[in-house]
Structure 1
Amino acid sequence: MATIEVEIASRRYAVACRDGEEEHLREMAAVVDRKAKEAASALGSLPEARQLLFASLLLADEIKERDEGKAPPPAAEPSYDPAVANALEQLAERMEKLADRLESGRANT
């Protein structure tokens, strides 16, 4: 079992992987890092958890579109769209409230 360091959203992580899969893991970490930077670029300064949340939502959206045969066109550089930023912000707030309710044991109230 190998352990490598990757950098995502300006933070370094030690991650274990099977021997021989180090380069693949580095490539996947680079994809996540790009999405984290895209989220930060679109939404401004974000706490690390929110930046990674938005990065995961952007990646999930791309996967869903590919699965449906609607792969997005490649973009040269991320662009800022206030409507998207606002929608993502509202979604994050709802997810945080739900997480708070789940953590406090009030999920069924």
Structure 2
Amino acid sequence: MAETTLHIAGRHYDLRCRDGEEAHMAQLAAMIDDKARAAQQGMAGMTEVRNLLFAALFLADEVTDLRRELAGRQEKLALETQDDDAAQAVEALAARIEKLRAGLAARATDA
């Protein structure tokens, strides 16, 4: 296990993480720090716990927005895939109709 120190809202937090994850933990801490500082600016005099609560709420709000956006994109992609599938089906039907028309035309000329 590796040990690292995270800096969030002017405080230092020592913690352990898996070896090699120190940089990732620092990135996560920087995200939390940004939100905690934004909360501090908006509401001065908050306790540390309340400040971190608001930081967590801000991050949860962003995650929710991103999940909605992802769901919308996935839905759009699914519809596009359905459109592609429908277009292929129409093309296949058109080819069958053309083949049948050609067969009927050949029979009509033979008769």
TM-score normalised over the length of structure 1: 0.62
User: Could you give the per-residue CA deviations for residues 30-68 of structure 1, whole angstroms, max 9, x where no partner exists?
Assistant: 100110000011112211010000000000000000000
| Structure 2: distance between partners of 1:9 and 1:59 | 15
CA distance in 1 between partners of 2:47 and 2:54 (Å): 11
Query: 2:20: which partner in 1?
Result: 20
Quick check: which one's helix share is greater?
2
How far apart in 2 are the matches of 1:37 and 1:19?
29
Give the corresponding residue for 2:10. Answer: 10
Distance 2:15 2:65 in 1: 29
Which structure has the larger Rg?
Answer: 2
Aligned residues: 70
| Regions of 4+ moved over 4 Å | none
Aligned-partner SS, 2:69 = coil
How far apart in 2 are the matches of 1:34 and 1:15? Answer: 19
Higher relative contact order (CA 8 A, sep 6+): 1
Structure 1 unmatched ranges of 5 or more = 71-109
Taking structure 2 as the reference length, the TM-score comes to 0.61
Partners in 2 of 1:55 and 1:61 — Cα distance?
A: 10
For residue 65 of structure 1, what is the aligned residue in structure 2?
65
5+ residue gaps in structure 2?
71-111
Q: Tell me the secondary structure at the aligned position of residue 19 of structure 2.
A: coil
Cα distance in 1 for residues equivalent to 2:38 and 2:45:
11
